[in-house]
Amino acid sequence: MQRLVRIKAIIKKEFRQISRDIGTLGTLVILPLALLVLFGYAISLDVKEIRVAVWDLDGTDLSREYQRGFFNSSYFTFQSVIRSSQDRDEALAEGMALAVLTIPPGFARAIDRGETATVQFLVDASNSTTASTAIGYLNGADLAFSLAHARGHAVAPKIDLRPRVVFNQELKSVNSLIPGLIVLILTLAAVVSTALTLVREKEHGTREQLSVSPITPLELVIGKTLPYLMVALVSTTLILSASWLFFGVTVKGSLVLLYLTTILFLFASLGIGILISSIVSTQQAAFMISAILTVLPTFILTGFVFPIRNMPPIIQVISAVLPARYYLAILRTIILKGAGISSIYREILVLSGFAVLMLGLGTFRVSRTRS
Amino acid sequence: MKSEPAISVQAVEKHFGAFHAVDGVSFSVEKGMVFGLLGANGAGKSTLIRILCGILTPTRGSARVAGFDVNTQTEEVKRTIGYMSQRFSLYEDISVIENIRFFGGMYGLAGASLREAEERVLSLAELAGEENRITGELSGGWRQRLALGCAILHKPSVVFLDEPTGGIDPVARRRFWEIINGLAAEGSTILVTTHYMDEAEFCNSIVLMHAGKIVAQGSPADLKREYMAGPVFEVECDDAPLAIRTLSGLGWVADVSMFGAFLHVNLVEHSDKSLLSAALAAPGIGVHRVEQIRPSLEDVFLHLIEKR
Amino acid sequence: MWNRIITLIRKEFQQIRRDRRMRVMVLVAPVLQIILLGYAANMDVFQVPLGVYDLDHGTQSRELVDQFLNSGYFVLAAQARSFDDLDRFFMDGTTEVNLAIPRNFSRDIDSGKGASLQLSADGAVSSSATIALSYASTIVASYGSSGRAGATAPEIRAWYNPELKTRLFMVPGVLALLLMMFTLIFTSLSVVKEKEMGTIEQLIVTPLKSTELIIGKLIPFVLVSLVMAVLVIIAATLVFGIFPRGSIVLLLLLCLVFILSTLGLGLFVSTIAANQQQAMFFSIFFFMFPMTILSGFVFPIENMPAWIQPITYLLPLRYFFVIVRGIYLKGDGMRQLWPQVLALLAIGITVISVSMLRFKKRLD
């Protein structure tokens, strides 16, 4: 009974401190929302309106028809006419065009004779992702013209290909990126705020006051993390609602499962925050370390943007140590695929392990520093 | 032809929103004096000092320090004054000598003049030999002396010390005041704030502040004479609250207040001890001791504050 | 005046020298990060897990699957025995691309009748799956028309990055990111720390002028940042073999220009923040985070909606990405980069001036 009273006292105090601390409140509630909306609109890996410059050395009706085959599609836009190799080089160097199409002289004649005309594409591959996609489209557009105008050969057996993208019919990259954004924002909020709260006590000396009181480390940890958990859940709800409102992202799977796994993830993150706070002594350090440990790794190593399969083994090991990675997989599966526990039980197990481990370690360290 | 006072304050006010930290303060300090600004915490002393140093702008009023207006000639003021803030504000992560050299550089000391200042300050702060100690490792008294030293590197004509003896032991405090008097003897004007009333006795002239206003002004002796005309007795008795109630209403009692476990009773001029003993005996209070004491500035202060 | 600035710079270095954490942040952390991120930031289409449901089991179907596997883009992750299997592969994340080959595929191809194939990609994982899908489509298309020449044959050359490695694009980007993070955060903290520790009071009571204070505080960070930049450039060269195609001197010079603008931002933050926590909050959430996402590090600016584009023009990082990638990949020089340099200078000068104006030697 005493335990509950003490825990409740800590919880109440934390809430009071949170509500007065604009910074924490902002981090946990307002900012995530603002970031979600801003980035949701901004981030897109779709490749559209590829700017193509054309150097038409043939100048025939057929060459112009060839060009039309590209610019009629929504993938390409016509950038400019190239008249010399210098033009061409500059267009690419200055980034005016993503690709330069060079139609050689004798293009139409070769095709009329039933030969194959070679067409050159120079693609600015600095951004290899964009370039890869662009190359795919270029190939496709060329193939369409190529097959349609093939003369004097047996037409290739038609393979009717029906490619589809599952779970993301509109092919909007934003759909797959929203869960990642949620993870990023929640991770940041959870880790940073808990790291700060405990360190703040250390800095202001109230930690000493607390350590002479009868409260146990476990109660302290529970009492301090629960308020942030609740605020973070509110945050999550706001983010999900905003995602639906602005981006039409609906949760295909079970909401209950979503919240349960979110709680699990938050426990793990909050635990990490506590661990950090037990190691460092200034708010500055706590903030720095928690921010650096969360922002970049979450962005890069969790599969948010870069596929984990591409990473060298050592890095994959590091990725395996991030709770956010598993939570992201869970979120994508629940939100976008509508799957159930059977698909994500492994991730859930790992997250639970993390939560227990982090909170345990944190509690342990808190008790260590007190004695 | 009287020369301009080292410090002159005219109707200075400082408002923070609706709160008047300094509420119409005027006084002046002659050159070479040790001037005390007394008052409890929150009376407005630090705010006033910061205004005089040019790092806070007064809402109303004006002030001149060392012949310059603090508002319009702030940079000139800063060049000629030394300031020691209430909170320790030297760099704790560098060494003693590095701090000294840093502030020396800030005041334009270099080469021989810097070295001379270093030696002077090190000996004044009694830190010779500890130059390479990290400042954060110094204990209370040493830190304060170092801070004082850094404030006077450039031999300023006016020195502002904000609670310089806060939190250090009485022996160290006494040593500190020896240093201050030494500086005054060399011709500097010193303005010190403190809430230790006993330190006020060391000043040539003091001003008592309360809630942003001046409640008393003058030399310590003057003040005591003025506000404590009658005798002051220290009373040790049972049931102090009853004693206070009994004495408070009487016409010949100017003031009665608790002092620790005892009472200090300030009688009106020409009153007699016997009146006091009789008044206490009447309700049957057991009296152990009634002794006449010399009034301290603390008595003066309490008397003045409680009057309000 | 220079005396005071030099005294201030000396003090800053004395503090930096003793700050072990700063040493780690400057020397160790960035190098580790560039190595880590250089390896991890990889969107190449490589070893994409493929799921195959082969109802045909004929020569043609086997050849088709071989084409997929030999392309180097795909690895066979699982064989399905039903359509439900395929669905489950996606659900569980076992595969990213699924290929379903119908019965009689080989027979229909051989007889010239034509056949249909089902190709699907898991759009939930990341856009890499959709890129993989377009590669898969190309493989199928070239399989279908193999041996028969079409009217045109495209010769595609990838300039600046012939092997289409994401890393070439990302590593210079990470250099820019690290530089920004460090300069922004540490500058904002430096002045605010003085505010918090109280040393600012002792500082502003001295004859030190505001401009001298700002210069004295910025110069140490400029120098330290340059050291960091050099370290990161060396690390990128040694570990990944990625070094600038253009002039390194120009690169460092432009790093300097960039640093000035981020230092200015950090300074600006320090004039609004009252303590270190606030300073970090502002730096990270209002500047670092948005800049990372909106400046074109990973997500192309061209894709952003019209109302966001103007915002990106205010971000120094946007211009610096173009500069760094331009010098590294294209060997760009001032001739190509002068618009970006101009923009950076403009931003830097503006921000530093504003901060100087805001910084008054008063406590209120």
- pLDDT, one tens digit per residue, over B13-34 is 999 988 999 999 999 999 999 9
**DSSP-assigned letter for residue B296:** P
Could you tell me if B196 lies within 8 Å of chain C, comparing CB atoms?
A: no
Torsion sign across C-alpha atoms B282, B283, B289, B290: negative
Pick from C13, C84, C15, C24: which is nearest to C51 by CA? C84
ipTM over 0.85: no
- Tens digit of each residue's pLDDT (9 = 90 or more) over C81-102: 999 998 889 888 889 899 999 8
Q: Rounded distance, CA B70 to CA C110, Å?
A: 99
Residues of A in contact with C88 (CB under 8 A): 343
CB A154 within 8 A of CB C108: no
Burial class (CB in 10 A: 0-12, 13-18, 19+), A246: middle
How many residue contacts between B and C have a Cβ separation below 8 Å? 82
CA atoms within 13 A on the CB side of C314: 9
CB A199 within 8 A of CB A281: yes
pLDDT of residue A171: 60
Strand order in C152-159's β-sheet? A76-81, A50-56, A99-103, A117-124, C152-159
Å between C265 CA and nearest CA of chain B: 25
Q: Rounded distance, CA A61 to CA A55, Å?
A: 15
For C181, list phi and psi in degrees, rounded to 5. Answer: -55, -50
SS3 B15: strand
| Residue-wise DSSP of B177-215 | HHHHHHHHHTT-EEEEEES-HHHHTTSSEEEEEETTEEE
Q: Assign residue A49 a region (left: φ > 0; alpha: ψ between -120 and 50; beta: otherwise).
A: left
For residue C97, the cross-strand partners are C50, C121
pLDDT of residue A196: 67
pLDDT higher than 80, residue A46: no
Structure tokens at C112: 């010239």
Q: Which architecture, in CATH terms, is B225-307?
A: 2-Layer Sandwich (3.30)
Contacts of C172 (CB under 8 A, 6+ apart): C236, C242, C244, C324, C325, C327, C328, C329
pLDDT higher than 70, residue A21: no
**DSSP-assigned letter for residue B150:** H
pLDDT higher than 90, residue C237: yes
**Range name among B23-27, B33-37, C41-45, C170-174 with the lowest pLDDT average:** C41-45
Å between A4 CA and nearest CA of chain C: 32
Mean pLDDT of B258-284: 83
For residue C118, the cross-strand partners are A162, C100
Mean pLDDT of B84-104: 92
Contact between B105 and C362 using a beta-carbon 8 Å cutoff: no
Q: Rounded distance, CA A72 to CA A75, Å?
A: 8
pLDDT higher than 70, residue A16: yes
Mean pLDDT of B171-188: 89
Where are the CATH 3.40.1710.10 domain residues in chain A?
A: 50-148
Residues of C in contact with B59 (CB under 8 A): none
- What subunits make at least 3 CB pairs under 8 angstroms with C? A, B
* Most distant CA atoms of chain C, gap in Å: 95
Residues of A in contact with C97 (CB under 8 A): none
The percent of residues above 90 in pLDDT, for chain C, comes to 28
**DSSP-assigned letter for residue B135:** G
pLDDT higher than 90, residue C6: yes
**Range name among A36-45, A198-207, C20-29, C324-333 with the lowest pLDDT average:** A198-207
Specify the pairing of strand C74-79 against strand C97-101.
Answer: unpaired
pLDDT of residue B1: 47
Cβ-based neighbour number of residue B282 at 10 Å:
9
Structure tokens at A97: 């065009």
**DSSP-assigned letter for residue B136:** G
Q: Where are the alpha helices (DSSP H) in A280-337?
A: 283-301, 313-320, 323-331
Q: Which CATH class is domain C48-144?
A: alpha beta
CATH superfamily of A50-148: abc type-2 transporter like domain (3.40.1710.10)
CA atoms within 13 A on the CB side of A118: 5
Specify the pairing of strand B232-237 against strand B262-267.
Answer: antiparallel
Pick from B99, B150, B86: which is nearest to C363 by CA? B86
User: Measured between alpha carbons, how far is residue C120 from residues A123, A164, B128, B268, C134 in Å?
Assistant: 27, 5, 81, 103, 10
CATH superfamily of B7-218: P-loop containing nucleotide triphosphate hydrolases (3.40.50.300)
Torsion sign across C-alpha atoms A40, A45, A50, A51: positive
Structure tokens at C19: 């700050």
The percent of residues above 70 in pLDDT, for chain B, comes to 99
Chains B and A contact (Cβ–Cβ under 8 Å for 3 or more pairs): no
CB A272 within 8 A of CB A187: no
Q: Choose the closest CB to C205 out of B55, B90, B134.
A: B55
Residues of A in contact with C131 (CB under 8 A): 129, 132-133, 136
**DSSP-assigned letter for residue C19:** -
Mean pLDDT of C331-360: 89
Q: Choose the closest CB to C206 out of B78, B90, B101.
A: B78
Mean pLDDT of A255-271: 88
* Residues counted in chain B: 308
Could you tell me if B153 lies within 8 Å of chain C, comparing CB atoms?
A: no
Structure tokens at C245: 């195609």
Residue position matching structure tokens 């370290």: C231
Residue position matching structure tokens 């702008």: B57
- Tens digit of each residue's pLDDT (9 = 90 or more) over B274-302: 888 888 888 888 888 888 888 888 888 87
Mean pLDDT computed over every residue of chain C: 86
- Tens digit of each residue's pLDDT (9 = 90 or more) over C282-327: 887 788 878 888 888 888 888 788 888 888 999 999 999 999 999 9
Pick from A173, A181, A167, A185: which is nearest to A335 by CA? A167
pLDDT of residue C98: 92
Q: Rounded distance, CA C234 to CA C138, Å?
A: 39
Task: Tell me the domain boundaries of chain B.
Answer: 7-218, 225-307
For residue C75, the cross-strand partners are C49
**Range name among A226-230, B122-126, C7-11 with the lowest pLDDT average:** A226-230
Q: Rounded distance, CA A75 to CA B144, Å?
A: 73
Contact between A126 and C169 using a beta-carbon 8 Å cutoff: yes
